[in-house]
Amino acid sequence: MATSICRTLKYLQPTTCQNIKCAVSLLDVRLPQPVLVPIRTKKRYFIPPAVNVKQKTQSEQEDKARAAGVVVRQQYIERAINIACTAGIFDPYVPPEGDARLSTLSKEGLKQRTEQLRQGAASQLAYRKIKDHDPEFSTKGFPALAQQIFIDAHAALTQFNKEKLHSLVTERCYPEMVRGNRYKTLRWRFIESLEPPRVVHARCPDMISKGNLYGQVTLRMHSKQTLAIYDRFGRLMLGDEDEPRDVLEYLVLERHLVNPYGRWRLHGKIVPAWAPPKDPIIKTLIIPGPKLKPGEDFEDLNYQVPKPKAVQWSK
Amino acid sequence: MAASVVTWAGLAAIGRACGHIRSRLLGSSSTLSQVSCLHTSTELNSKHWERKNLIVYPPQQKDEPCRSAEIYHCRRQIKYSKDKMWYLAKLIKGMTIDQALTQLEFNDKKGAKIIKEVLLEAQDMAVRNHNVEYKSNLYIAESFSAKGKYLKRIRYHGRGMFGIMDKVHCHYFVKLVEGVPPKVEQKTGFDQAKEYVEQLRNRTIIHSL
């Protein structure tokens, strides 16, 4: 069965007829005759798989396919991602040492308070920027709102209400709150607030492109809370349901200022370097230690369990 | 011979329907395992073995006895016979996990190595995800094997005859429970004989004087 082959005329020199005639008259050069070159244009719908084909790598196979004339359309792997929150806390607030211990009535406490009230120029600029985009924001009224968001978010976490939690907590904070808690029962109660919450810090970073503003506000909160975590079988893992604890927290709330539907959501917590260590969990754990040689004893080694460095970190 | 195609989902639906019918017939008796007259077959258990790790119990009160942790683990489509795997599963049933691991390590069968891997995986899972305190404090409550999906091949015989060869696969299931394994009462021959005599003596003769 003869396949149809188109025959095309192909000029060896890519010039127009007039140019050729002029050139010929000027130069008196004998041009070569136009040559007919057969070009295959019939598309092969089915290329049978080659017999005795060796295991070829992907690039070799692609080269072979291209040589055979198979054209693969370029695959556009595009997926639109909506970024609604920043990846971390920019320029985090460093809580001063002894923030929890000093009462506001003592002299040192008053000094600290006056220092904090000024709060730095950058924070003031940030408040101004936030007020430009969100006219309802005020340093006086925001803390109450923020505390309510905090309480609602943790209540939603106990019930594990995913939709409500996503609306109250940013995408960066959500996995940190929820990780490991899927098959556990959490019992959390907010009993009372010991001091009125205060805005201590604010920043307005922009992500990726200039003008894409996000507002991050840090809130200092001193309150009484109860927490008990039960594992999958209903056994107590951590905490006590009847014992309230005093908690000093530095919450960071964030809002996408440029977005008109943006909302203030919990973004993270700052744990200061001087924070007291947390209670251990009820069960005993194995800390991996040094490998012993056959004759050695562990007591003879005087192994010091490495303690983590006291560094401020945000969760 | 036309083979009817029964999908896995179809089988699951039939299994579930059987379960529903059985539970309705029983009436008040709730779970299958509590009724001793009902035989819990491997078919009914094996489909949802992985899902049994996902049930969350409500928190216990302080006066209730502590619920032991139960960890379910399985491995599917092991290239081994279910009947040969059964011997190993029966061997380790009821042992502590350390004892079971030791026995399997020095067993010459092919399935022993596979079961040992499964047990180590389950032990690691228990400590990491299921809040088990001591990894040696586990014992094997249930261990059984079930038939997997077989591949069919042709086995050539003489004179142009052929047979269909099954490439056998099996599943292996294990349930680890935290705590000390329950002691199984060893019944001696004398006790059994005594029971038999008791039964004979307790018979009543009806319509007698």
Alpha carbons A13 and A214: distance in angstroms, whole number: 62
- pLDDT for residue A275: 84
Question: What's the half-sphere exposure (Cβ side, CA atoms, 13 Å) at A258?
Answer: 13
Question: Do B134 and A237 make contact, defined as CB atoms within 8 angstroms?
Answer: no
Worst-scoring range by mean pLDDT, A308-312, B136-140, B204-208? A308-312
Worst-scoring range by mean pLDDT, A258-272, A292-306, B17-31, B71-85? B17-31
Alpha carbons B175 and A103: distance in angstroms, whole number: 56
Worst-scoring range by mean pLDDT, A25-34, A66-75, B15-24, B188-197? B15-24
How near does any CA of chain B get to the CA of A288, in Å? 14
Question: Do B134 and A284 make contact, defined as CB atoms within 8 angstroms?
Answer: yes
Q: Mutation test of the interface with chain B: which of A233, A243, A286, choosing the one with the most B Cβ atoms within 10 A?
A: A233
- pLDDT for residue A180: 87
Q: Which residue of A has its CA nearest to B67?
A: A233
| A109 or B175, which is more confident | B175
Asked if pLDDT for residue A25 goes beyond 70, the answer is no
Alpha carbons A34 and A203: distance in angstroms, whole number: 74
How near does any CA of chain A get to the CA of B195, in Å? 40
- pLDDT for residue B29: 39
| A223 or A98, which is more confident | A223
| A19 or A268, which is more confident | A268
Question: Do A231 and B68 make contact, defined as CB atoms within 8 angstroms?
Answer: no
Condensed to tens digits (0 to 9), the pLDDT of residues B62-75 reads 888 999 999 999 99
CB pairs under 8 A between A and B: 43
Select, from the ranges A6-10, A111-115, A259-263, B195-199, the one with the highest average predicted confidence (pLDDT): B195-199
Question: Do B69 and A234 make contact, defined as CB atoms within 8 angstroms?
Answer: no
CB A254 within 8 A of CB A83: no
Q: Which residue of B has its CA nearest to A184?
A: B56
- pLDDT for residue A18: 52
Alpha carbons A202 and A170: distance in angstroms, whole number: 17
Question: Do A232 and B59 make contact, defined as CB atoms within 8 angstroms?
Answer: no
Alpha carbons A238 and A280: distance in angstroms, whole number: 8
Question: Do B60 and A235 make contact, defined as CB atoms within 8 angstroms?
Answer: yes
Q: Which residue of A has its CA nearest to B129?
A: A180
Condensed to tens digits (0 to 9), the pLDDT of residues A212-228 reads 889 999 999 999 999 99
Length of chain B equals 209
Q: Which residue of A has its CA nearest to B52?
A: A232
How near does any CA of chain B get to the CA of A297, in Å? 22
Residue in B54, B59, B70 closest to A234 by CB: B59
Q: What is the mean pLDDT of residues A275-287?
A: 85
Beta-strand pair B70-78/A313-314: unpaired
How near does any CA of chain A get to the CA of B60, in Å? 5
Report the amino acid identity of residue B17: A
Buried b (16+ CB within 10 A) or exposed e, B179-209: eebeeeeeeeeeeeeeeeeeeeeeeeeeeee
Question: Do B131 and A233 make contact, defined as CB atoms within 8 angstroms?
Answer: yes
Question: Do B57 and A233 make contact, defined as CB atoms within 8 angstroms?
Answer: yes
Using a CB–CB cut-off of 8 Å, the residues of A that contact B are: 183-185, 187, 228, 230-237, 283-284
Asked if pLDDT for residue B200 goes beyond 50, the answer is yes
- In three-state secondary structure terms, A34 is coil
In the structure encoding, which two tokens stand for residue A165, read together? Answer: 């939690």
With beta carbons under 8 A apart, name residues in chain A contacting B54. Answer: 183
Q: Which residue of B has its CA nearest to A238?
A: B131
The set of long-range contacts for B95-101, using a CB threshold of 8 Å and a minimum separation of 24, is: B95/B139, B95/B140, B95/B181, B96/B136, B96/B138, B96/B139, B96/B140, B96/B180, B96/B181, B97/B123, B97/B135, B97/B136, B97/B138, B97/B139, B97/B140, B97/B176, B98/B136, B100/B140
Residue in A187, A232, A284 closest to B57 by CB: A232
- pLDDT for residue A92: 84
Select, from the ranges A267-271, B36-40, B57-61, B138-142, the one with the highest average predicted confidence (pLDDT): B138-142
Closest-CA residue to A99 (of A201, A240, A212): A201
Split at pLDDT 50, 70, 90, the class of B28 is very low
Question: Do B131 and A228 make contact, defined as CB atoms within 8 angstroms?
Answer: no
Question: Do B60 and A237 make contact, defined as CB atoms within 8 angstroms?
Answer: no
With beta carbons under 8 A apart, name residues in chain A contacting B70. Answer: 233
- pLDDT for residue B49: 94
Q: What was the ipTM of the complex prediction?
A: 0.71
Condensed to tens digits (0 to 9), the pLDDT of residues B128-184 reads 999 999 999 999 999 999 999 999 998 999 999 999 999 999 999 999 999 999 999
Q: Which residue of B has its CA nearest to A179?
A: B129
Residue in B57, B131, B134 closest to A237 by CB: B131
